[in-house]
Structure 1
């Protein structure tokens, strides 16, 4: 709230007066709201208390604020001639149903946008990995019969048919187009599942740590989250039984292949055990397979998705996306599940946005029908392998045995643990001052000491410099 940046071009007390007056008139500081004491505001702004005292005196003389002994200083509620018709935005912001982004997460994303920082945080491919020329050609040759009206909330039938063929060819998931819904990426798929199938107070199980834990989707819907422990073989399935006995778990959210953030791969045995446990307990599984196609060169192929396993067609809601394997800005993903579930979610979807753009759906259809997707994934796997190897090499070179990590077999991330403890907030700020952005493990619900490093999000030539800056940040911390 008090993000006033003081300058030397004007007396400080006048800058404080203008800052407060502007927020009173635009409704950000509504009538009756309490302001900080003179001492507190002086501490926040790092100025002399006398400066704040002069500013408050001027605001009182204008009738904008009032001070009473015992009740502090407040914005005036009965000031003559002042226009207080602006809504109480502060009240609305505090009461909205959707929870705000965590301050540390917001800070990280803001810093990612600055070109002076090296981005080892954001989970998307850097611009030189985008298939820009392919997309330009596809866009130039779109059919004149392109859907420009409100389409089917499940997505265009031709794209759903293309997704059905893609899932069968790439993952042995046999699902007809009437059981597929097109989404704006996996994250929207999660939101649709939560809003359509769960109620406030419901309990769900997530891997610990988990990318989903960093999202406010569950808290916004009033959903209670409980952790499933993860080791080097992925989540521990029998913990679901314990959680269900204690909390009546209603849904399990998992990322079995190249789990985000740890990069672990759930073994075949544990996949089968998880399916059996959830079938016995009649608990549905939501499988996020955003990184599953990104097995790096020289690594063994992971087991097939849960949705490809026998009996899973009635039990698993499968989420896939083009964001990690083709282009994040295309914003096309898909959900596959039982017919009744897809119909229910399509009904909710129709109330929200009538589906995503027919233009991007048409492009995505051509990507999946041609060999473009396979060509791009092959190119991307090689590029990501080089980047992973580069990051592993410089991590060892700069940190030696200060860091523990497993070399990932796929995906975008390396999950590292530092032997010497550190405070996440201090690391984030020190790293930013050093010109590099990383995500501490606490964002994903991990224990202290972990950091997720992304080798896909910055140009390859910046990886070594990014790790060097991180090393300096740790030394200063």
Structure 2
């Protein structure tokens, strides 16, 4: 046998064996007139456990390539030669070979577990249902029935919505932009995908904050990009680090979230924002500014965005209604140079023929009404109440076991655990007790941190959730002490 297992790669051994058998069937190395090598023989030849070979044959049987015959071993299935049914595609192989990577297994697990209605969910980055503007939407539907045509709209999005967003950006954030420089997207996530797919190529180097929610996104690896981390302190990234990274790796883009950052909740000071813009101009590095939270500032003072100070068109600005109105509305936008917006709009049209007119109509009616400002005032007040409740619960249940800085806006609170504990075991124990959070290493290289999303739960649920979390932490600490 000339086949050798490669134990230095991530592909499981049983899958390597299955691929070898499948290739041998295709090339005729294995004859349909004779049984395939026995499980014992293959295990001895390849120096693996018999169970590994069994798993390989199980996979081949599941896709119709082989069949087990009692008393005579494993044979090539007659189905693949057209004698019986048609051969089934190896969908498992297709799933694994696709270029678009799946979410991290832990992210998938959290999303699956939080479907339980009994779960206190402080993992999902969204608003609680009682913070949605449901009454305002009902009044909009009642006072102004939807009469728009349900055909394809402009590739950049509905012109009325883009004009309304233009007015909104100037009124709330001091950003001057015309409708032609705005693209409507399906939330900020699609905006990031369009930018990565259309403006970068495999092998390009990009920089993101550490920690950052972008670290958990597979889109950078799916696009073949090289991702480098910019360490953050309580004021965000240090501008000089961008220069150092650029000298070593020729950074093509920098992705930052300067206001109430996800996951840390920090807010970058004006001096650092200005210096980042200076570096962008000096080295010609585009800045992708993701700003879903600045409008939630509890005191109503919205910091000056990089886009507002951008005089040269170096910043692509992303925002959405997901974190301030409703995540399910799926309305986001990109602001940038017209040439870039047209390129991204062309790609979006290829993907989905442009955004659905109905949510655009709802968003336009709501943002353009006086009810929008009333809603923003409400969520600022409510989010501050929930952040205070979370702070009280952490102090009451955990005391000096945990450290945190209170954000002045946004929906996330970042905590450092003061006792060594496996954060993934902590998540498992918390989920068993009906509480979900996100381990810190999902967002970067630092361990011993956790993120709680206070915007997702009611004050009562926050108190109960941290109580459950503290019991999970106490259980693991006692278990670890017993093992010493």
Q: TM-score range by the shorter chain?
A: 0.7 to 0.9
The CA deviation string for residues 409-463 of structure 1, in whole angstroms up to 9 with x for no partner, is: 1100110000112223212211111111110011111411000001111222111
**Partner residue, 2:176:** 174
In 2, distance between residues paired with 1:381 and 1:149? 37
**Partner residue, 2:141:** 139
Q: 1:310, CA displacement in angstroms?
A: 4.4
Distance 1:423 1:144, change over 3 A: closer
Query: Could you tell me whether the CA contact under 8 Å between 2:187 and 2:331 is conserved in 1?
Result: yes
Q: 1:217, CA displacement in angstroms?
A: 0.9
Question: Map of 1:120-199 to 2, 5 A cutoff?
Answer: 120-142=122-144, 145-199=147-201
In 1, distance between residues paired with 2:358 and 2:302? 34
**Partner residue, 1:244:** 246
**Partner residue, 1:466:** 465
Question: Map of 1:56-135 to 2, 5 A cutoff?
Answer: 65-66=67-68, 76-78=76-78, 83-135=85-137
**Partner residue, 1:317:** 316
Provide the secondary structure at the position in 1 that maps to 2:124: coil
In 2, distance between residues paired with 1:160 and 1:456? 28
In 2, distance between residues paired with 1:221 and 1:156? 29
Provide the TM-score with structure 2 as the length reference: 0.83
Determine whether 1:234 maps to 2:236. yes
Query: Could you tell me whether the CA contact under 8 Å between 2:194 and 2:344 is conserved in 1?
Result: yes
Q: 1:75, CA displacement in angstroms?
A: 8.3
Provide the secondary structure at the position in 1 that maps to 2:403: strand
Query: Could you tell me whether the CA contact under 8 Å between 1:256 and 1:287 is conserved in 2?
Result: yes
Determine whether 1:207 maps to 2:217. no
Question: Map of 1:429-448 to 2, 5 A cutoff?
Answer: 429-448=428-447
Q: 1:141, CA displacement in angstroms?
A: 4.4
Determine whether 1:306 maps to 2:294. no
Provide the secondary structure at the position in 1 that maps to 2:87: coil
Provide the secondary structure at the position in 2 that maps to 1:303: coil
In 2, distance between residues paired with 1:341 and 1:127? 36
Q: 1:85, CA displacement in angstroms?
A: 2.6
Provide the secondary structure at the position in 2 that maps to 1:456: helix
Distance 1:29 1:363, change over 3 A: farther
**Partner residue, 1:426:** 425
In 1, distance between residues paired with 2:91 and 2:374? 50
Q: 1:74, CA displacement in angstroms?
A: 7.3
Distance 1:66 1:230, change over 3 A: same
Provide the secondary structure at the position in 2 that maps to 1:124: coil
Query: Could you tell me whether the CA contact under 8 Å between 1:256 and 1:265 is conserved in 2?
Result: yes
Query: Could you tell me whether the CA contact under 8 Å between 2:184 and 2:334 is conserved in 1?
Result: yes
In 1, distance between residues paired with 2:273 and 2:461? 37
Determine whether 1:347 maps to 2:346. yes
In 2, distance between residues paired with 1:393 and 1:474? 18
Distance 1:377 1:30, change over 3 A: farther
Distance 1:461 1:75, change over 3 A: farther
Distance 1:98 1:443, change over 3 A: same
Q: 1:65, CA displacement in angstroms?
A: 3.5
Provide the secondary structure at the position in 2 that maps to 1:252: strand
Provide the TM-score with structure 1 as the length reference: 0.84
**Partner residue, 2:337:** 338
**Partner residue, 1:294:** 296
Runs of 5+ consecutive residues of structure 1 not aligned to the other structure: 1-27, 39-48, 68-72
CA RMSD of aligned residues (A): 2.8
Query: Could you tell me whether the CA contact under 8 Å between 2:79 and 2:87 is conserved in 1?
Result: no
In 1, distance between residues paired with 2:76 and 2:428? 37
Q: 1:304, CA displacement in angstroms?
A: 0.9
In 2, distance between residues paired with 1:126 and 1:239? 37
In 1, distance between residues paired with 2:202 and 2:322? 30
Q: Which moved more, 1:132-141 or 1:353-362?
A: 132-141
